[in-house]
Amino acid sequence: MRNLALLLALGFSACNCEPESPDLLFDAGSGDNRPTCQGSSVNDPITGRCVRSRGVTSKCPDGAYDESHPWALEAVSLGYATIYVAQGGTGSGSKDEPMGDLGAAIERLQERGGAILLGEGNHTITMRPILTKPVTIIGRCAESTVVAGQVRGVWQVAGAGADAALRLSGLDVEMGLRLQDIPTVALNQVVLKAEAGQRAEVGIHIGMDDTVATNLGTGATLVAAGVEVSFWDTGVSATRNLQHLELTGGRLEGLGRAAVQIKHTTETGHILVEDNLLTTGEDAEYVVSVGETGSFGRTVEEKERVVDQFSGTVIIRNNTVRGLPNETEERIADKGAESGIVIRYPRVQAENSIEVSDNLVSDTRDSGIWVRQFTESTQGDNLVQTRPDDDTGSWLLANNQIERVGTGLLAERITGALVIRDNVVADTDDRGFGLRDLGLTTDLRGNGVNNSRVRGFDIGPFFAEGEITIENNAAIDIRNTGFNLRADGGGSFELRENEVRGARWGFAFSGKDADDTAANVTSSTNNVVDATLGFGLHRFKGQFESNTDRAQVQGPAWWLERTGGGQAIIVDPALIEARGAAVYAAGNTGAVELRNVVLPTMGNRALPFEEGISAHTAEIETAIVLLDNRVVRIHGVDANLNSVPRALLADRSQVGADNPYELDLETGATFEVNDLEGAAGAFTRGDLGAINASGNSAGRLEPAGDEAQPRGSPRGAP
């Protein structure tokens, strides 16, 4: 990637400047002689000098000009046309007799190309050049070389032809840059700071008209290393036909609307935003944005039809992204930019990849990181959102630290391979992670959420039959639900070794109604500690199996309610502590199967859980409660280790008109019970209706008497 940056920054097209001069082959050479930098300093990717990692930090050189800059050395060694400009100069442009007019120097080179060395002082420019050849302007350093002079604080530079190029280094430019139709632009150690009256403008704008891009067969390239852009409306904006952007080691601070805004690329666009400090004002829309909806339409779908086109590869890595204008301001509620890093509606091809990694994102009102793919299928005149059947690239969101935001990380409509790993989210007003409309494969691994006011992980549904692996994630101190999985769109969920510590619900698996697509969930060795409810299924349709999951909770460890079709199987649960009921299963038309259950330490709790639909709220202590289920299979319950007054209760007394779930509880109904271990009278049954219990322990189900049996509903995960 660094080699690519050098080639783009220094490898401009050739031109003949004078009849006997060599071609302008802007070649950086091998780059093998770069110094070894000490401490936290790094090699500037263009000059090779040791600088701090972010912003304009090169020291002013000895002498009147920066003749040691690689671009200046290149001009001397190859005999390029080189013009010297000094404040107050009156000469022809040689080193001994410098010119005094920067605009006149540019005018001499705009059709022949060459280099301009600026001395210290203030330089005024009022011309708006149209470059046809490469032009390089090198100041002594940004601290001592100032360029100003344009009306409204914007310097407009245009290009004409494939050879047009512009390079700026070592300058304090007291204007914004508007770069139009220039194939290649490079900025190095440049400061652009907006003053009063300029702050409605863009700091750096680059774009290329469609006709020009078509004729040239390429778009615009911008390579910016070690720049400072502050207090403009937008820091860097690319609006049409961006071919390549590299923004590295910069400081883009206090921007009004956005630090980086990329709206439109060529079909093979490439974007690298790496190792920058990026901040905005508290009312900004976003800090970094790639892709943007059109401004027309009433709905998101209508706006997507006129979305600015983005396609290609994106890397946003190792940046500090903050929705407040400086690093010290404290965030309060409803303060900060709307979003941190946003990637929206790219047309991703099989060979494309999008990476957002190793960033520190903080202080935004809505999302810290938000990615959303454009997904379109046309049927006649209608636009239908769907999941394509082909491979649609890869997405990697990894090792980001996100804090003090609305939602930490939000991923929507990602149709290809999505990997979210080793991210840490803290102090959210809403969710830690939100994953909606998932595609082919999703890998959620090694992530953590701490102190979320709503949910830790909010996942699903799928577009269609996708797969998600959820492994080794943690949700700590969550106000409502640790993991909320929406399974109404079908697909396969595999959960392994995840943990919830401190929440109302640990894991919730939910659907909507009988029209849901059946899902497949396998859950193993997951752990819930210090929650009100451990694992809950609510209106879930499909196949569910839990194996060796662990719960130590203040309410029911398992809540199974109104599952439809398929079966819910609980195998070898590690039940440590529960209250009210260890397993509560009510109104399920799908089969409920328990295998090898050792009862936990039990305590009293009022059922129904939370706000139920029944008036029976007396506290109970029954380890396994089975109410109004169509199919029940029990193979092994051991109540000897932790004896309770009632180990199991089975009842179907609400199958008639009073059935609160309005379910068909007669068709195919069975009750099978084997291998019950415990004290006499611990296993009871109420009214089973026409169902006869079968199995080797059916005789141990003793009548429960006339007492009312508690029925309730959690009404979906909080």
Read off the pLDDT of residues 7-44 as tens digits, 9 standing for 90 and up: 233 333 322 223 232 232 233 333 445 567 776 666 66
Helix (H) or strand (E) holding 102: helix 102-109
Partnered with residue 394 across adjacent β-strands are 353, 417
Give CA torsion, residues 649, 654, 656, 662, to 10 deg. -120
Residue 86 lies in a domain: yes
Q: What pLDDT is attached to residue 195?
A: 87
Residue 595 lies in a domain: no
Distances (CA, A) of 673 to 435, 625, 634, 646, 683: 40, 14, 5, 16, 11
Residue 165 lies in a domain: yes
* Short-list 474, 473, 495, CA closest to 544: 495
Helix (H) or strand (E) holding 651: strand 646-651
**Any idea which of 204-213, 283-292, 525-534 has the lowest mean pLDDT?**
283-292
Residue 283 lies in a domain: no
Tokens 């609980």 belong to which residue? 570
User: Domain limits at 158?
Assistant: 1-179
Q: For 148-167, how does the pLDDT look when each residue is reduced to its tens digit (9 = 90+)?
A: 986 668 999 999 999 999 99
The domain tally of the chain equals: 2
Query: 55 or 172, which is more confident?
Result: 172
Distances (CA, A) of 376 to 265, 351, 380, 385, 434: 19, 19, 13, 5, 22
Residue 320 lies in a domain: no
Count other C-beta atoms under 10 Å from residue 617's C-beta: 12
Q: Which amino acid is at 345?
A: Y
pTM of the model: 0.89
Domain boundary among 179, 198, 221: 179
Residue 251 lies in a domain: no
Residue 208 lies in a domain: no
Q: For 449-461, how does the pLDDT look when each residue is reduced to its tens digit (9 = 90+)?
A: 999 999 999 998 9
Phi and psi, residue 575, nearest 5°: -90, 110
Whole-number Å distance between alpha carbons of 100 and 104 = 9
Confidence tier at 229 by pLDDT (50, 70, 90)? very high
Domain boundary among 133, 148, 179: 179
Count other C-beta atoms under 10 Å from residue 229's C-beta: 33
Domain boundary among 179, 196, 219: 179
Find the mean pLDDT for residues 353-370.
Answer: 95
Contact predicate 380/407, CB 8 Å: no
Contact predicate 456/432, CB 8 Å: yes
Q: For 350-360, how does the pLDDT look when each residue is reduced to its tens digit (9 = 90+)?
A: 778 899 999 99
Residue 529 lies in a domain: no
